[in-house]
Amino acid sequence: MSKKSTREFYKNLSKRVGTIAECVKKREFRDGLKSTNTVVPGRYLTIQKRIRLATKIPLGESLCKKTLAIARDRNRRFQEWSLGVVEDERNNDGFKIFTRGSNSDWSKRSTFQRGIIAVASGTIVSAKKLSVSYPISEKSNKAVEIIAPRGYYWGKDINGIKLVGKVGEYHPTASECLRGAASVVSLLKAAKASRIAAKKSAKLIIPSDLYVCVRDAIRGGNCIAGVTNWINRNKINKGHMKASRLIKLANKMPELGRVMGTVRAALERHNEEIVKGYCELRYHKT
């Protein structure tokens, strides 16, 4: 397309949507969305199509506790809830109580466990608007719309829904989304600062007995939602994993830089434990 025809195209377009400069900005913004694999559904999509575009979001610690508390309050005759909350995409509406083992056979009574299946999901209504659905009862969900602040927009990649800005990107949990977009932005900036600090703090002389856990990934500046999806996608145990094996696994992946940040955080934590002579369980929870 020649310069003259391009100018004529934007000139005709400006009659409907504004100035040529505004048209150029809109086009650049849309090109940016395409480059980040962002899914932006049209405004006239049916409810059924929007449901299909919904993406699973980890509930997060506070929402897991709240959902389990609702289940226990509505089923007070049940005392055993050791399985807690299990997130399963097959359960879309509300939460479902499930059991394992036997509660009727006294010889097998010690195997009995109870928990709930619940899942939260997010739908990108537009680049600025995210609809988060989470369970509030056994048969219903509640949807809340989160508006991205100026300079940020909602996107989607292989690790799930993310908030994207100039500073970087962050995959929030449903609990973090419900605190508001400003809270997610602060978490994004904190994660970026943690990655920079982890990169500077530890030299990568990796001992053979260094193990990495999910808490190390979070201390290394990664979001819990992205870490959880990455673990599930690569079928890795959520417990401790040898650092050398983790690096070997991620060596041919685009996430190698984030994995090395996780290893740096694990090495820093490991060195602190060697000096103190003991480890704290709060740094090893998964």
Could you please report the per-residue DSSP string of 18-33? S-HHHHHHHHHHHHHH
| CB 59, CB 174: distance < 8 Å | yes
Residue 89 lies in a domain: no
Per-residue pLDDT of the chain (286 residues; tens, 9 = 90+): 555 566 676 666 655 555 666 666 666 666 655 444 444 444 444 544 544 477 888 888 888 889 999 989 988 888 888 888 888 766 667 888 888 887 777 666 677 888 998 888 888 888 888 989 888 888 788 888 999 988 899 988 888 888 998 888 888 989 989 898 899 999 888 888 877 776 665 556 777 778 888 888 888 778 888 888 888 877 777 778 888 888 777 776 767 777 888 888 888 888 888 887 877 777 776 5
Residue 177 lies in a domain: no
Residue 278 lies in a domain: yes
| CB 106, CB 41: distance < 8 Å | no
Residue reference for tokens 């506790």: 65
**Entry field: residues in the chain:** 286
**Distance, CA of 240 to CA of 150 (rounded, Å):** 39
**Distance, CA of 38 to CA of 102 (rounded, Å):** 46
Measured CA angle at 196 (ends 252, 260), to 5 deg: 25
pLDDT at 104: 72
pLDDT at 41: 44
**Distance, CA of 177 to CA of 181 (rounded, Å):** 6
Alpha-carbon radius of gyration of the chain? 23
Residue 12 lies in a domain: yes
Residue 27 lies in a domain: yes
How far CA 206 is from CA of 212, 254, 265, 275, 276, in Å, comes to 11, 21, 12, 16, 19
| CB 100, CB 112: distance < 8 Å | yes
At 256, list the tokens.
């190698």
Q: Is the Cα torsion angle 48, 61, 178, 30 positive or negative in sign?
A: negative
Residue 62 lies in a domain: no
Residue 196 lies in a domain: no
- DSSP summary character for residue 127: S
Number of domains in the chain: 2
147 backbone dihedrals φ, ψ, rounded to 5°: -95, 125
Residue 229: domain span: 202-283
